[in-house]
Each structure stands twice: as C-alpha cells, then as structure tokens.
Structure 1
C-alpha cells in the first residue's frame, strides 16, 4: 500500500514538473495571440497580458493583413519559397557530405572535416562581406538565389549527419555492392531511409533557422516586394509610426507554418534524440 502511495505521489510530482515548463513555454504565444485581437491603444496602455477582455476583441488587425493594399502575403510567399528550397537543398547536400565523411576513406578527409568544424566556429557576420561580394559577382542580389545559395551546405548539418551516419551498419553497403548496386543507389535506396530521423530533426531546425533568418536576407534583398516576413514585419516599426497591432497579428500567422512543420516531423525529431539510447 505504501509503495502504491509513493508511486502515485511520484506520478503527480512528475506531471507538475512537466506542466510548469509547458505553461511557461506557452505563455508568450498565448499573450501574443490575445494581443493580436486588441486595438493598439490597449497594447500601449497595458502591454502584453493574458487577460481575456472579450469586449475588446476583434479581427480588425487580421482584416488589415487581407486587404488589397497589404503586401504581407507577398512577404509570406517569399519566406515560404526561401525556407522550402533552403531546407530541401541543405538537407540533400549536407547529408551527402556528412555521409561521405563517415562512410568513405579518401585523401584529405581529415582536412575537410577540420574545415567543417572551423567554419562552425566562425561567426556568420565575418563571412557576410565575402559572401555578399560573391552574390554581386553572380548577379544574385535581390533574388531568391542570393538568399538561398550560401545556405545550401550547412556545416552544423554536415557534422550532425556525419555523427549519425557513423552509427549505420557498413555491412549493408557491402551487401548492396555485391548485388550490383551503385554508390548513389546505396545512398538513396538504403541509407536515406535509415537516416529519416536525422532528416526529420535537421529539417525542423533548418526550416526554423531559414524562416527566422533576418540578417542575411536584410543584406541581400533590396526591394519591398522581395522582403521576407522578419524584414517586412520589422519595417512596421519606424520613427514615423509603430503599427504594433498589425505587427503582432502578422507575427501570430508567422508562427503557424513552423508549428505545422513540427507536427508532421516531430516523430522523426524525437526518434533522432533517442537514437542510440537503446541497444539490441
């Protein structure tokens, strides 16, 4: 009886321990959502809070985003295009590089790995100037290509896939070679399905990074119609007026794609975190 009581209290304490961080994590999103339904005057008076105040709620802030003169959905479209292609290309090329560093032995392999680790330690701000000069030489300023191209081979992603691929069985490669499978066939038909957890985890992180990326698109993009959501929403705050109500409503809609990506990829994200925790 005493053991059952202890287990019951342990379960209660565990639930409380997990609920408190969850509430803290959800609080900013809840406050942001409620604030998007209120007029800007209330936001200036009371700031962000979670008091319902039903009499003040309206969809006027969201209606403004849907008006014909609003460029918000152009920014939304730009962010989706850039994030989609940046994520897909970074996963493809970075996984191939990481896989090759883990599964093959070739001259200069240690140097390549050292360079990958070195680039991980260099702040991106130091690399911006040479990257920008490169985009000018390629004529890629104020284009999707200029934003996407420097991000398609990500050093952190390469290192992550290398570490994940080190745990894959090399016997499968030998068996596939005996059956006449090419090296590309081994990678795409055998290894890629085994690396689904890694693709899911890094897909979420890369999509989140690309979606929230502010500095590099700000440097490359020039015209308002090419802005991404972080740049466009930041432009709503100026010395001549602050549209906090529209800014918050736009921010709420901006969160939705990342939530959708996480919902669909969370299974692979969790499995990648637990990979190697259980043997046998």
Structure 2
C-alpha cells in the first residue's frame, strides 16, 4: 500500500513539473514557430500556435545567413563583450570576494556593507553618474565603456564571498608552511576549489551581459558597434516593422546561452549551494 502511495506521489509530481515546464517553454515554442513564418502572415494572424502550416518558410533564416551583414556584426560584438565581461568579472570579483571572506583587515565589514548597499541600489540610479564618468574618461562609443562597470560586479563579489567562507583554512595554513605566497595559495589551491561557484557565476554573468540592453544603448553610438539587443531593436521603425527578421534573429540569440549552460550546467547547482566543507 505504501509503495503504491509513493508511486502515485512520484507520478503526480512528475506530471505537475511537466505542466510547469510546458508553461515555461510555451513562449519559446511560440517564438521558434513564428520565426519560420513570413511577415505578412505574422501581421495578419499574430504570434499564435494556430496558423497555416503551408506558410512555413526558411526565408527568414536564409536572409540572416546570406544578407544580414549588420546582424552578424552585432552578434560578434555581443560575443566579444560577453566573453570579456565573464572573464574579467570572474577574475576580479573572485579575488575581492575571497579577500573579504578569508582575510582580517581594517574596514573589511564596512567594505562588505558598501558592496551590499550597491547591490540594493537599482542600476538606473547609478546610470547617470556612470555615464558622466564615461564622458570624463572619453570612453563614449567604446566597448570599454560597456565592460568597465561590470568588471567587479557586486552580486559576484557577494556570491564568491559566501562561497569562500566555506573553504578549508587548513589548506591555507599548510601552504604557508610550505612557503607558498598568498597569490599562490589563491590561484593554485583555493581557486580550483571555487570551480563550481565560478561556473555558476559564469552562466549568470554571461546571461546578464548577453541580454543587457539599457547600458550599451546609453554609451554606444555607431551602428557597427551595437550589441545584438540594440541591433534587433533598430529593426522596429516607424516606417516598417521587420517582425519576421526580428523573430528569427531572436531565436539565433538563444544559441550561445544554451551552449554556455550545456558546458557548465553540471556545476551550476553545486555552485549555487554556497559553501559547506565535508569533514
């Protein structure tokens, strides 16, 4: 009787999760199907699962791969910017978070409170002084202006600090006895132990930088320097809305995020489980 009850519970949970997964994936399914439909069909019937299958065409994707040169320029810009943000943010934020977790120094708690304060402030409030700073540094319309505010992300610093609190201090003491420097301890011993947290934050930072629209829109001016979200937004104009190209281009933007998640997904859950050292 108990076995039947457990089996019923498992099937009920499976069905419930399947329904939730379908609801979550429904907009994505709509987007993918709509990307294979011509603009006239989209304007006539909208984005819907009910449409004439005979209208399905590959013309939208053929156009993107053969004629939409600006699209691939935007795509490359987003890839470069996201890659730089991921690498620099993981490198510097992990160092800051590690230092806040394992070292005792004057003002450490004050510095951590400032990190939390910045974390709670909406970016829209910080955007104006950041924009003025970029003007003073003469970095407007450069990739540096897009990357610089994300080099040390408050959320990443907090994340790495919490994870580093669970790292075994005995390894640090043993390495110091062996004559290792503090940099050697971090890069050779502690950083490999922080691998799951690095993978989890790589996904989160990559997703955030890839989808970032507002800040690049503020600091970039040239069409050939636009990132993908800005470039796709330019397809919507008062003189005509290229919904077919917009939707097919949006589908292509999902590919890098899926690849990033596939590479790091096995570390993602472990990285989100902060700290914890087995005895």
Give the TM-score range, shorter chain: over 0.9
Equivalent residues in 2 for 1:44-193, closer than 5 Å: 44-51=43-50, 53-68=52-67, 70-193=69-192
Asked if the contact 1:102/1:162 (under 8 Å) is kept, the reply is: yes
Q: How big is each residue's C-alpha offset from its partner over 1:82-127, in whole Å with a ceiling of 9 and x where there is no partner?
A: 0000111011101100000000000111111111111111111121
**How far apart are the structure 2 equivalents of 1:89 and 1:7?**
48
Deviation of the 1:4 alpha carbon: 2.2
Deviation of the 1:134 alpha carbon: 1.7
Q: How many residues align?
A: 279
Deviation of the 1:51 alpha carbon: 4.1
Task: Describe the shift of the 1:112–1:276 C-alpha distance in structure 2 as closer, same or farther (beyond 3 A).
Answer: closer
TM-score, normalisation: structure 1: 0.95
- Gap runs ≥5 in structure 1: none
**How far apart are the structure 2 equivalents of 1:21 and 1:121?**
30
Asked if the contact 2:166/2:277 (under 8 Å) is kept, the reply is: no
- SS of equivalent to 1:58: coil
Deviation of the 1:131 alpha carbon: 1.3
Asked if the contact 2:167/2:277 (under 8 Å) is kept, the reply is: no
Deviation of the 1:278 alpha carbon: 9.1
Deviation of the 1:133 alpha carbon: 1.8
Q: How big is each residue's C-alpha offset from its partner over 1:236-280, in whole Å with a ceiling of 9 and x where there is no partner?
A: 111111111100000000011001101111111111234558965
Equivalent residues in 2 for 1:246-265, closer than 5 Å: 246-265=245-264
Task: Describe the shift of the 1:220–1:59 C-alpha distance in structure 2 as closer, same or farther (beyond 3 A).
Answer: same
Task: Describe the shift of the 1:193–1:69 C-alpha distance in structure 2 as closer, same or farther (beyond 3 A).
Answer: closer
Task: Describe the shift of the 1:249–1:179 C-alpha distance in structure 2 as closer, same or farther (beyond 3 A).
Answer: same
Deviation of the 1:8 alpha carbon: 1.7
TM-score, normalisation: structure 2: 0.96
Deviation of the 1:168 alpha carbon: 0.8
Residue number in structure 1 paired with 2:39: 40
**How far apart are the structure 2 equivalents of 1:275 and 1:151?**
22
- SS of equivalent to 2:136: helix
**How far apart are the structure 2 equivalents of 1:264 and 1:54?**
35
Task: Describe the shift of the 1:152–1:276 C-alpha distance in structure 2 as closer, same or farther (beyond 3 A).
Answer: closer
Task: Describe the shift of the 1:47–1:68 C-alpha distance in structure 2 as closer, same or farther (beyond 3 A).
Answer: closer
Deviates more, 1:215-224 or 1:119-128: 119-128
**How far apart are the structure 1 equivalents of 2:29 and 2:276?**
35
Task: Describe the shift of the 1:262–1:157 C-alpha distance in structure 2 as closer, same or farther (beyond 3 A).
Answer: same
Task: Describe the shift of the 1:172–1:69 C-alpha distance in structure 2 as closer, same or farther (beyond 3 A).
Answer: closer
